[in-house]
Structure 1
């Protein structure tokens, strides 16, 4: 298959490219706002000449693609908070770029990287196939912009049921290529381990479901190989993990030092989410079966990172 990767400098996109390089013969074209950075990354990974790359301006309806994968967006809470309402324009611009192509080539599949945040800001319980998106329409806050932008894109996609568009809602994702300056719980823990300092962490009970890069690749491959459909799927591992278990394992395996406090110093860009994961296993209908639990995937990637193996080019 010939695939167009939009937003090729994102962490999850580069992880997927590495998986494609190792496990498939797909022909990829990597599009980015900074193609020179993509070129440097390909060189650092020994992939020079393997895949073409270009600026977004080179993306054309005259090219042939079997599928478009849109990774344009933000994966960092602090960045999402800083972008504010501009997230609407950015999401719409590149979504429309892909939609324009698919309208002209309806046989081309379009995979859009959405987010669990599309369900809204309330995750007092995990979501499932019956959960309704909840948006405080009369009291919208800056923490809603990211969620509403994703929900808006998904609504546009469902309004064209004749086109093969699948929205992939990512909840939590971690790999050893993670930029550890990002303000996530896991990166806060990783910095504390690396710097041998005590992590001050809130007493808030949370449950998360972390997707491993290998399972994300399995999901993408399953969606590309299945009969064309217009749908949305939620990402999930073999089992989620709660914060107490995560702290216990990281203390035992990696020497994490932590102190429970009442206040939280984390960046909250999209609202509080005690149970930010999904029980919606619709992806199984496309042949997806995760191999790793959240904890297994986290430990595996943390071991690679802490062993000092080569870091991702973008995770400086």
Structure 2
């Protein structure tokens, strides 16, 4: 039986992982959160109480586990903007917690949820195997705080090559459990469809890669079940999607109404404007990861479920 600790278990991406991992008969989960009651209610609604134990963060380290996944972070760009410099302390606090445990239990595996933002805030072209992180060190802006926090954590992890630490760089995820009130471009689209309003968006071209929860779950299992390693992997799907294609598909399938107004400056970009925010890195192939969904598959399938039109 494999015992997996999950920090930040109340986040949307963590809940998707928990729901899928609960189907694994060989896995028990320890969930760590700041507030027990909402997660207890969620587990009860899904009938997952018997597959998990629930703990406050203060209890981390008191129960043996084979691996730990650190989901603690910011999932909403608006919240990232509000948090500002506090993102540094929060990221390090929970990373320190896990690292202290690894020092005592070096056999343990650690998966840290990093971000494509660790490369920097420009993305004038997609990330690739030779892409270097770009930080404006002499004129650091609040939009770069999130990037620097993730980059710093990754650097700390590489400084311990003897430990099995994998940093998963997430670019974009989307699922039927997404908080539709969050300020993402894709949630703006879904709200416009749901409310029968006209989406106002800038004409700026961009490309995004939306990962489906099942593909993310597959990637995590490839890391947990594969050889011990210390290094990053970038998330990717069968294919990214550009903005015109996405808008046209959502109009055709769901009746999205949209119009182009203003510029990218009018959009919430807490970590910087990124025209090509996706990766061409394929390190995960060596671990056996083979994505099932394209970005457009993910968005249309999960949007259909959100809107109650799940015909897939």
> Which bracket does the TM-score occupy, shorter chain normalised?
over 0.9
Is 1:228 equivalent to 2:220 in the alignment? no
Aligned to 2:31: 30
Aligned to 1:13: 14
Is 1:185 equivalent to 2:185 in the alignment? yes
SS in 1 for 2:54: strand
Is 1:139 equivalent to 2:139 in the alignment? yes
Aligned to 2:92: 92
Aligned to 1:2: 3
SS in 2 for 1:101: helix
Q: Is the 8 A contact 1:4 1:31 kept in 2?
A: yes
CA distance in 2, matches of 1:24, 1:120: 40
SS in 2 for 1:148: helix
Deviations 1:95-114 (A, max 9, x none): 00000011110100000000
Deviations 1:212-261 (A, max 9, x none): 00000000010001011001000000100000000010000000000012
Query: Cα distance, 1:262 vs. partner?
Result: 2.8
Aligned to 2:155: 155
Query: Cα distance, 1:35 vs. partner?
Result: 1.5
Is 1:274 equivalent to 2:275 in the alignment? yes
Q: Is the 8 A contact 1:121 1:273 kept in 2?
A: yes
Aligned to 1:313: none
SS in 2 for 1:272: coil
SS in 2 for 1:258: strand
Is 1:169 equivalent to 2:131 in the alignment? no
TM-score, structure 2 normalization? 0.97
Runs of 4+ in 1 over 3 A off after TM superposition: none
Aligned to 1:238: 238
Query: Cα distance, 1:182 vs. partner?
Result: 0.6
Query: Cα distance, 1:36 vs. partner?
Result: 1.7
Query: Cα distance, 1:49 vs. partner?
Result: 2.7
SS in 1 for 2:281: coil
Is 1:306 equivalent to 2:307 in the alignment? yes
Aligned to 1:249: 249
CA distance in 1, matches of 2:287, 2:248: 35
Query: Cα distance, 1:308 vs. partner?
Result: 7.0
SS in 1 for 2:79: helix
Aligned to 2:58: 57
Query: Cα distance, 1:41 vs. partner?
Result: 1.0
Query: Cα distance, 1:24 vs. partner?
Result: 4.3
TM-score, structure 1 normalization? 0.96
Structure 1 residue runs without a partner (length 5+): 310-316
Q: Is the 8 A contact 1:176 1:305 kept in 2?
A: yes
Aligned to 1:113: 113
Equivalent pairs, count: 308
Query: Cα distance, 1:266 vs. partner?
Result: 2.2
RMSD, matched Cα: 1.1
Change (3 A) 1:147 1:290: same
SS in 1 for 2:22: helix
Q: Is the 8 A contact 1:184 1:266 kept in 2?
A: no
Q: Is the 8 A contact 1:171 1:209 kept in 2?
A: yes
Aligned to 1:194: 194
CA distance in 2, matches of 1:110, 1:149: 18
